[in-house]
Structure 1
């Protein structure tokens, strides 16, 4: 076998160097503090971890194969299991012993044997529903896995053939009252298309609702919001076309000439009930939460004046502006009874950050507590491993009280950054925000990783437990907590 050489670029070096570690660790060492013994469940997260060097010589760091990590909490012990999702792409390339699929979301760069095959890397999010683990990438159907063994059950899961969309979101939501998984697919009938579909999936894993519609223009529809009565979709001009792909440019580019839109779909209605609102160009990706007061819909997102993603450059080649890339929590509000098509925008916090989370039991409801990864530019930074390939250094964890505006933050120090946290409810408690936050710390000075556990409403006190991880875990994207009962289905 020929030795593999990955490019010596920011996308493949330092903390972003490919790992390729599949492992079972029975007990992670507790470096400091203690893990509450009553916690019984698992924190699942995923990172892009390429099996083979890219065909193009370099590529966006998040175009790697999905490596799933499960941290199992039980009786004060935390075990670790890590395994690649065996997607169709992964299996084909493993058999060939080399990369067959080309640049990020650009099938024009694939080899002949890869053309027409499902390109999913299953590397963006992992959720548990109906006793199964869904590894998700928004350009493809889910990859279905066993939540205990992490074995792949179905590399291209289409809900028994009932899902007609070619794509499925990486950010499904879960209705706390019904337990239904709420989801969508964009470019649902083909790459670069405006077709979208909204799905509701019951507690048995069956599709029970399907609504098809079109969005104003093709864009990266990475996330959405749901309320008790509505599904809410934000259209932001990170867009693309076939000319970009033919020119081998990054798939997406930011178009300052397009407005943003907010689409509101009644969950009990159809495509004819969908209404669009608009605002001047801005940037918003992940959604903290949404809720409605009657016909008035509130939609909470980290919002920036300009493009947040340097790896998706301006389509007119304007230089990246870090000042305009600073995103702050903002509430978008629209009213279906109003004759106005405008989106009202109100700042919720002055913290600059992203990867917002809530107590997921309050999805779609008015929530008081929000959590965020923050870039605190006032703190010293020492980057012995080089700058982040993402362009962001999330060095602080924050809790925001949306009622009082108070904030509670914890800085990790000059040589550490955080990956996205997940909320863990305190067993037996139903009070919002009563629980923990679990997150992976990137130790940039030693190129290593640790697992941290915080009291969710008191993050400034620092982690209540710090656990060692015996190998470096590549920076990831998203993850979620599942109780033992949810894992069992």
Structure 2
């Protein structure tokens, strides 16, 4: 049987790679790689091994997870890339064809895989307590070897985690080394159940709580402070009857209110308190902290879902302008008797994929880096994210913007401290640039204090890497389980 991929968005630079790669000693074409960097810059790429048999295949969301890593040691960078061998991947590899149908719709699968996990493990890689996980929010996590990227298998913390799905955006509390994570649709597809967990610094589950969201929806990320967890319930709705009718699994509801569920850390489900606000869609967490009374929770928000392939539930037309996300600060008064929150815009340009110095996760912070979707007055040549920016959320330092180049795309930036005890924001920004005309990619190492200066180093790849959502730096100490806190080495 011949293999042929459809002529859709997965072409040219974004065509499937379908290759597992080992390349020792990447070429440094400019500058020098800092020798103090010891660890790995891990990224998950969506990359289909087999062509889909459904017409409305969704970019990245329905693709097989491909784990990749830039390994740093003594000024040298090696590269490795491996498919995440999920139960889904293994079944399709054995069959030599796609067996799973539409996104988040088990009713469209080949009967031979009924009941098998549909997860693709293609969103985020997490290192905690000496283990490395590939994660996607609709399924269990997959454990991988942090140094070989070989798949070990599904992981449930020794049976202590019973949720059927686990978030791709957990948080690590740098004060305690604890892992904070959750799952939505935790009791099965299109259920309102949310499961909340905490694991101690050694990876043992020490807390579990369940509650029901006001309505079923995508809960992509959470905001965590020292004392609270904030769950954003925004109306990218998900209903069982839609997938039974083979309609899109998610639709945007422009008439539903937003709910922010505030749960005390290690609290029970009946302790959650709901705060309401105007219709909008949450994106990714920037940072969050509390002062005992007020919660300050920073996130990206847009007027509707960023994903154009999820239609409006009322059939109204899709407006690209409504998808533009902006960074906002939500303020919640935990001593008030009301049920509303306030908000303010933090940054003037549309942005996404924000990253802070995670040594300040759950704390008052200043530094953030992010991708920009548009910069008024600067011409865009090409598609995707083309700028990376740094800013001080408290306005103490001016924002800076770096342009990747004409017909180039730039990936999520990752901050790495210059040393383990360096001041906040003193270090490097790692990001992958896709050079579309040349059909290759390169890794940029930028000075976080001045991203407009010449790159600290440019590391070339002799091939292209497809676009991906997220990348994370984990030091050698983190990979070995010696610490759970971000560091340079």
Q: TM-score by structure 2 length?
A: 0.95
The SS at the match of 1:482 is strand
- Which of 402, 412, 419 is 2:404 aligned to? 412
Superposition pairs of residues 11-160 of structure 1, within 5 angstroms: 12-62=10-60, 63-154=62-153, 156-160=154-158
Partner in structure 1 of residue 347 of structure 2: 349
Offset at residue 427 of structure 1 (A): 1.9
What is the number of equivalent residue pairs in this alignment? 478
169, 172, 175: which one aligns with 2:173: 175
* In structure 2, C-alpha distance between the alignment counterparts of 1:371 and 1:440, rounded to whole Å: 14
- Structure-2 residue corresponding to 1:431: 423
Flag structure 2 segments of 5+ consecutive residues without an equivalent.
482-489
Q: Is the 8 A contact 1:16 1:61 kept in 2?
A: no
State the partner residue of 1:403. 394
Q: Which moved more, 1:410-419 or 1:457-466?
A: 457-466
Q: Is the 8 A contact 2:288 2:361 kept in 1?
A: yes
By how many angstroms is 1:220 displaced?
0.7
Asked if 1:455 corresponds to 2:447, the answer is: yes
* 1:308 CA drift (Å): 2.3
**Paired position in structure 1 for 2:472:** 480
**Matching residue of 2:379:** 380
TM-aligned CA deviation for residue 273 of structure 1: 1.6
Helix, strand or coil at the partner of 1:430: coil
Contact 1:352 1:376 in 2 (8 A): yes
CA shift digits 1:29-76 (9 cap, x unpaired): 111111111111111110110110002034001111100001111111
CA displacement at 1:337 relative to structure 2: 0.5
Secondary structure of the 1:288 match is strand
> 1:295: Cα distance to partner?
2.0
TM-score (norm 1): 0.95
The answer (yes or no) to whether the contact 1:136–1:142 under 8 Å persists in 2 is: yes
Q: How big is each residue's C-alpha offset from its partner over 1:379-429, in whole Å with a ceiling of 9 and x where there is no partner? A: 22333xxx5xxxxx2111100111116311111122111111211111243
**CA shift digits 1:6-33 (9 cap, x unpaired):** 11001x1122211011111111111111
How far apart, CA to CA, are the structure 1 residues paired with 2:259 and 2:405? 39
> Secondary structure of 2:93's partner?
helix
SS at match of 1:82: strand
Question: What is the distance in 2 between the residues matched to 1:268 and 1:65?
Answer: 34
Question: Following the alignment from structure 2 to structure 1, what is the Cα–Cα distance between the partners of residues 340 and 108?
Answer: 40
**Where in structure 2 are the equivalents of 1:179-218 lying within 5 Å?**
179-218=177-216
Across the aligned residues of Structure 1 and Structure 2, the Cα RMSD in angstroms comes to: 1.3
Shift of 1:462: 4.4
Q: Which runs of 5+ in 1 are unaligned?
A: 388-392
> 1:305 and 1:319 mapped to 2: Cα distance?
13
User: In 2, distance between residues paired with 1:382 and 1:430?
Assistant: 37
Aligned to 1:390: none
User: Could you say which residue in structure 1 is the equivalent of 2:486?
Assistant: none
Rounded to whole Å, the distance in 2 between the matches of 1:428 and 1:99 is: 45
Q: How does 1:308-387 map to 2 (within 5 A)?
A: 308-377=306-375, 378-383=377-382, 387=383
Checking the alignment, whether the CA contact within 8 Å between 2:283 and 2:325 is kept in structure 1 is no
CA distance in 2, matches of 1:305, 1:120: 28
Does the 8 A contact of 1:192 with 1:240 survive in 2? yes
Taking the aligned partners of 1:461 and 1:313, their CA distance within structure 2 comes to 42
SS of 1:108's equivalent in the other structure is: helix
Moved more, 471-480 or 402-411: 402-411
Alignment-derived partner of residue 293 in structure 1 = 291
Deviation at 1:306, TM superposition (A): 3.1
Contact 1:183 1:199 in 2 (8 A): yes
Paired residue for 1:232? 230
Match in the other structure for 1:445: 437
Which whole-Å CA distance do the structure 1 matches of 2:297 and 2:373 have between them?
22
CA distance in 1, matches of 2:307, 2:322: 11
Distance of 2:305 and 2:85 partners within structure 1: 34
Alpha-carbon shift at residue 205 of structure 1 (Å):
1.7
Q: After superposition, what is the alpha-carbon deviation per residue over 1:339-371, rounded to whole angstroms, capped at 9, x for unaligned?
A: 121110111110211001000111110110111
Q: CA–CA distance in 1 between the matches of 2:298 and 2:130? A: 30
Partner SS for 1:323: helix
- Could you tell me whether the CA contact under 8 Å between 2:193 and 2:210 is conserved in 1? yes
Kept in 1, the 8 Å contact 2:184–2:219? The answer is: yes
Q: Relative to structure 2, which stretch is displaced further, 188-197 or 439-448?
A: 439-448
Q: Is the 8 A contact 1:425 1:433 kept in 2?
A: yes
Encode CA deviations 1:272-330: one digit per residue, 9 max, x unaligned: 22101010101221111111011211110112233322121212222221222222111
- Post-superposition offset of 1:249: 2.8
